Amino acid sequence: MNFLNKMERKFGRFAIHNLTKYIIGCYIIGYILVYMQALTGVNLMGYLYLSPYHILHFQIWRLVSWILIPPSSSNILFVVIMLLFYYSLGSSLERTWGAFRYNVYILSGMIFTVIGAFILYFIMGPSSVMYAPAFSTYYINLSIFLAFALSYPDMQVLFMMIIPIKIKWLAWLDAAYILYDLVRGSWAIRTVIIASLLNFIIFFLSTRNFSRISPKEVRRRQQFQKAVHPKMAPGITKHKCAVCGRTENDGDDLEFRFCSKCNGNYEYCQDHLFTHQHIK
């Protein structure tokens, strides 16, 4: 985190503000290409996939063109709702973290996805082309959702547009689904998932204070609590009225204050704070 602070001070002015807006713009271009593909019958999307095999054969544009591939859906209303939802999540994270940190989070997710695709290619060779469509912005969007749930776990959303539910429970549901894919999927699918979500994994580990569960830290907190809240000996009270002698043990509703006009530390209950004779 100190390294990120230094980077922000040095390069923060180059951060792209409203980055989510540009991501949504890429999706809109992608949907236009999908529509054109349906009209012309030309497989336009096939030229956008993140395929290291084709990249090494001089189709360099694939390093970035895969970002244009939008989430698949045939329902235009669902697409609009989904884009607005992710725009809201991304904008909220950018306001919370700042533009530079949000840029680092999103761009690192994209870089890790590209690295994961090349790792899979070097392991499987040209046959890895069949997994190229799996390297998409689907997990980039999921990483935004998971990061938002980690930052605002108790925020409520309308599940299925009807049921109010805390966003952390939806995140746990997604986590269970991801874990299922990791266990049941092939090593190729595992590579896709881990590479695409590596930015969230790093973010999660960097924001967890694991030292709090160490025995040394637990003992330090216990000693601090004893020093701040020492146990009172039996029969000794913290407050006592200088007029009537009542203490906090005589009633939970009693309040005690010191008088600034008396010479010395004289404390009075609420019944005698304004009626006592000042001690000079």
Q: What is the dihedral of CA 80, 85, 86, 91, to 10 degrees?
A: 120
Q: Which pLDDT does position 214 carry in this prediction?
A: 46
The Cα–Cα gap between 43 and 139 comes to 23
pLDDT classification of 234: cutoffs 50, 70, 90: low
Identify the weakest region by mean pLDDT among 9-13, 36-40, 182-186, 224-228. Answer: 224-228
pLDDT at 178: 87
Residues belonging to the chain: 280
Q: Which residues contact 79 (CB under 8 A, 6 or more apart)?
A: 31, 70, 71, 73
Which residues are 163's β-sheet partners?
A: 159
What is the per-residue pLDDT for 210? Answer: 42
Question: How does residue 227 score in pLDDT terms, banded at 50, 70 and 90?
Answer: low
- Residue 166 forms beta bridges with which residues? 156
pLDDT of 208 over the 70 cut? no
CATH assignment, 19-209: 1.20.1540
Question: What is the predicted pLDDT for the residue at 128?
Answer: 82
Confidence grade of residue 277 (pLDDT, cut at 50, 70, 90): confident
State yes or no: pLDDT of 161 exceeds 90: no
Identify which has the larger pLDDT, 61 or 153: 61
pLDDT above 50: residue 236: yes
pLDDT for 220: 61
Average pLDDT over residues 272-277: 78
**% of the chain surpassing 70 pLDDT:** 87
pTM for the structure as a whole: 0.67
Domain boundaries, the chain: 19-209, 232-280
Q: Which two tokens stand for residue 258?
A: 């010191």
Query: What torsion, rounded to 10 degrees, do the Cα atoms 251, 254, 259, 263 define?
Result: 0
At residue 64 the predicted structure's pLDDT band, cuts being 50, 70 and 90, is: very high
User: 268-279: buried (b, 16+ CB within 10 Å) or exposed (e) per residue?
Assistant: bbeebbeebeee
Q: How far apart are CA 178 and CA 54, in angstroms?
A: 28
**pLDDT the model gives residue 11:** 81
What is the mean pLDDT of the segment spanning 109-118? Answer: 90
Cα–Cα dist 274/54, whole Å:
87
- The residue ranking higher by pLDDT, 277 or 21, is 21
Q: What is the pLDDT of residues 69-82, one digit of tens each?
A: 888 766 777 788 88
**Is residue 270 within 8 Å of 253, Cβ to Cβ?**
no
Model confidence at 211, pLDDT cuts 50, 70, 90, reads very low
Whether pLDDT at 212 is above 70? no
